[in-house]
Structure 1
């Protein structure tokens, strides 16, 4: 059985569902001695490779009733945070890459994203509607520290006074407070923090390269103190792993200034199911069968249900109990007493469309 890899959520290059051939590692006895780097990279320490790409479009649109947005922007494909449960992992299969280790070590950056967004805003007939920034993969993952794509996208939002929200697991969002604060003053931004657990040891295994839970709460408090509306997502709720922390997370986030709260049940589409089962065997083998058993009871006997209305919450007795606990905690900690500010689409100012003759004045 494969060994766990420090700093990685997966421990295998699981083949994507579109692959025609599958490779399997085999120890022929000729492995290099431990610590020998002359024979190639250490398989137990796979390095992150960053690929720059030029995207054709930047705004994705959806009409799903399960999410509160119709437009989203994702500056990165793949995510180095390495969350073992990430529902976006199967997207790497479209690149003929593994939803396992490739997803967290092969990161694609859309380097022309800010220019594409400005061009979209300048398009005749564009109607502003709040954009969700960094939905599939975290817009503040480690690559953002150097590339600053998310910051440049936010600069376009500020320039055009376009409303948006974002969700992150990284305290790096504090870096852009100088942009978020004036946006908040105009009712144009809301920041959500995904907090899966308050236990740093569990967090280090579930989401190895995301910010520690206390760092996210600290960032939340600092944004709140600066006047930026913040919220919390307890996501994903995993039975017999972190679901018992729901109330504690909501209470801690409320104490850090969160105005809104939500939760999402663990989602295991496509290749995420075998990857997460492997994670359970590596880190919580004594609970693995119980976790999957309860999860299947909440998913109609299967690992996952993709139907609208069920994929985020599940169904059955365990799902109903989780929903009741959330509703009680939501009222108990005062979320119901706060009316989150609505994002204002009426301030939008379209940029001037690019001209082949350049700017004369």
Structure 2
């Protein structure tokens, strides 16, 4: 049962049906949410009412049905998102999907689901949106008069190669447009599905137009299944690094996020394995807990690692100036203080030891061809 009724007019909930919500113990049993990352489905911060679920004795655990993934189109008017963040190496990005079925409990993009009236918890990984016309929108924006090319980051918020990409192929269609325009792109993913598109990526790499960042958070399959339940096994990600590297596509390994007392001891092991597979760059991001993510991750620790929760959160706050999250440019990715400095030093030493490049690989912008648009007038010379 659920107490309180949410006010009408919420597009997200009207589209998918309103869920039960409670933090600190979802009404769904562990069996019902098996294969999901979040342990709860709290209300988003913009909702005018909150629901409190309780057991009225009428529904048993046996009656609980496992959560199913729902997917609907999002009718976007533009596909390029701009940013002016000084600590990001790109000023524009594309996210073909909203929400992510990988279910990574630590995903900093979870709070974005509140913008469509859905929960950053279980809704984020079960109620997804796909931007069906992304490739057409991109072609229109790239061919606009006065457009100046800079590297586009593909998949900065949600994974462009999450499972529904197999059905929709939106990421592949976007890459096809970028290849035709000879436009540089950096891909961020934790899926081996990226290797499917080597036929597009390899010719782009020959021209210096693409690189891939593969997120490998742990080599422990048990931990991976708990904190990123529907993402590919770590070995599959490493094999994808190997395949991409053999095809001449530069790969960066991302240790993101580094979680104190959970996966931080694996930094050197992850970098060593990825380097053996051909990765040429390495970066890390310290666990980020903006907005609702603080409660969601605390709730996850309470269920999976209750004995570590207090220690982990103490170290996170120590690296964030005493807060759950510090959004200050220059500190939000790597933190500050003794613990953050230690992680940074370990990363630097590991990169030197295993032979990683220190500087970022730059992609070319001088090959951009605006005449590649369908129906565009050809150049005389």
Shorter-chain TM-score range: over 0.9
The answer to whether the Cα contact below 8 Å between 1:259 and 1:340 also exists between their aligned partners in 2 is no
Q: Distance in 2 between matches of 1:309 and 1:132?
A: 19
Q: 1:347 aligns with which of 335, 353, 367?
A: 367
Tell me which residue corresponds to 2:214: 193
1:330 shift after superposition: 1.0
Tell me which residue corresponds to 1:72: 93
Tell me which residue corresponds to 2:150: 129
Kindly report which structure 2 residues correspond to 1:119-268, keeping only aligned pairs within 5 A, or say none.
119-268=140-289
Q: 2:114 aligns with which of 93, 104, 120?
A: 93
1:157 shift after superposition: 0.7
Tell me which residue corresponds to 1:63: 84
Tell me which residue corresponds to 1:16: 44
Q: SS in structure 2 opposite 1:179?
A: helix
The number of equivalent residue pairs is 348
Q: 1:114 aligns with which of 118, 132, 135?
A: 135
Tell me which residue corresponds to 2:322: 301
Once the two structures are superposed, residues 135-176 of structure 1 have per-residue CA deviations (whole angstroms, 9 ceiling, x without a partner) of: 100000001000000000000011111110101011111111
- More contact order relative to length (CA 8 Å, sep ≥ 6): 1
Q: SS in structure 1 opposite 2:153?
A: strand
Structure 1 unaligned blocks of 5 or more: 37-41, 357-361
Q: Distance in 1 between matches of 2:97 and 2:204?
A: 23
Q: 1:284 aligns with which of 285, 300, 305?
A: 305
Once the two structures are superposed, residues 260-280 of structure 1 have per-residue CA deviations (whole angstroms, 9 ceiling, x without a partner) of: 000000000000000000010
Q: Distance in 1 between matches of 2:374 and 2:216?
A: 41
Tell me which residue corresponds to 2:67: 46
The answer to whether the Cα contact below 8 Å between 1:187 and 1:341 also exists between their aligned partners in 2 is no
Q: Is 1:332 aligned to residue 353 of structure 2?
A: yes
The answer to whether the Cα contact below 8 Å between 2:180 and 2:372 also exists between their aligned partners in 1 is no
Q: SS in structure 1 opposite 2:147?
A: coil
1:68 shift after superposition: 0.8
TM-score normalised per structure 1: 0.94
Once the two structures are superposed, residues 194-227 of structure 1 have per-residue CA deviations (whole angstroms, 9 ceiling, x without a partner) of: 0100000000001000011010000100110111
Q: SS in structure 2 opposite 1:294?
A: helix
Relative distance call for 1:28 and 1:339 in structure 2 (3 A) is closer
Q: Distance in 1 between matches of 2:375 and 2:211?
A: 33
Q: Distance in 1 between matches of 2:35 and 2:60?
A: 22
TM-score normalised per structure 2: 0.89
Q: Distance in 2 between matches of 1:187 and 1:353?
A: 21
Q: Distance in 2 between matches of 1:313 and 1:340?
A: 17
Q: CA RMSD in A?
A: 1.5
1:32 shift after superposition: 4.9
Structure 2 unaligned blocks of 5 or more: 1-24, 377-381
User: Bigger CA drift: 62-71 or 190-199?
Assistant: 62-71
Tell me which residue corresponds to 1:359: none
The answer to whether the Cα contact below 8 Å between 1:297 and 1:316 also exists between their aligned partners in 2 is yes
1:355 shift after superposition: 6.6
